[in-house]
Amino acid sequence: MVKYRFIFLFSILLMCIAVVTYAAKDDATVEGEWKLEDLDVADTSGKGLDGTVVGDPEIVEGPVGSALLFDGIDDGVQLPNDVGINTIAQPDFYTDRTIACYFNCDDVDIADHKQTLYEEGGATRGFNLYVFDGEVYVGAWNRAEYNWDGAWPSVAIESGVWYHVAMVLRDTTNAVEADKYELWLNGELIASEDGGALYGHGAAIGIGYVNADTVFHDEVISGTDVHYFGGAVDEVIVYNSAFDAADLAEYAEAVVSVEPQDKFTTTWATLKAQRTLR
């Protein structure tokens, strides 16, 4: 009896370990990685999704190597559609997704337009990350199939400071369920909201601007080449796995540790003082 009880408990332990592993970063699920080291905008994930520069961005120093500086007027990067990001065949929907980047906004208080860091999809389904009126937002919506109107958690930020922002869709189904959509800033979980899986969404993908249609927290955008970001962006990644706290903390190290050089960095104490939940 003791032997069988041990086997049963050991099996439960293995199941728990498997769940934890599944919920973390899986390198096999990388769908795009743009380090933005130069104007070639190469995809280093191995998927071959090289970007095309729009406008005339500059190369500047970033938290990890170089970054691209966008003027907020007509600079950006156009990315190609891909079966792993937005035009899936099988399965019918994405259950897990992590989209993240480093950014440094020149003026976070701009309120006459959104400053888009990344967007994919369109008015029916999609994801986006953007800055507006002193806050950074991460958005997701699926307004067909099971009618998820969307979620746009946000957090206060400051101008001229490097941050690492991430949105995580975690272990979803084709239904709206609690605590499935997350906003992370500098390795800390800021908000967890209702969410669901995302079905295929073939509209264009953009870094630094809205390439073609999107949905913000307060409006639906039907248009192209709008809502440009002013500032620097570095290391945009897209994975079809849900990063955990340890994964995101590793990325955040580049912006939360004190560097010997005079770079755009900040300490944990400063971040906690400036962070305000809506």
What's the pLDDT tens digit per position in 27-84? 999 999 999 999 999 999 999 999 999 999 999 999 999 999 999 999 999 999 999 9
Q: What is the full DSSP assignment across 64-111?
A: SSEEEEEESSS-EEEE---TTTT---SSSEES-EEEEEEEEES-TT--
- Class of residue 188 by CB neighbours under 10 A (exposed 0-12, middle 13-18, buried 19+): middle
DSSP class of residue 259 equals: P
Q: Which pLDDT value is given to residue 272?
A: 33
* Cα-only R_g, the chain: 19
pTM: 0.85
- Which sequence spans correspond to the domains of the chain? 26-274
Q: What is the CATH number of domain 26-274?
A: 2.60.120.200
DSSP class of residue 147 equals: -
Cα 125 to Cα 241: distance, rounded to the nearest angstrom = 19
| Angle, CA 197 vertex, CA 192 and CA 198 arms, to 5° | 115
Q: Which pLDDT value is given to residue 202?
A: 82
- Residue 122, CA atoms < 13 Å, CB-side half-sphere: 13
pLDDT in tens, 247-275: 999 999 999 974 433 333 333 333 333 33
pLDDT, the chain, mean: 87
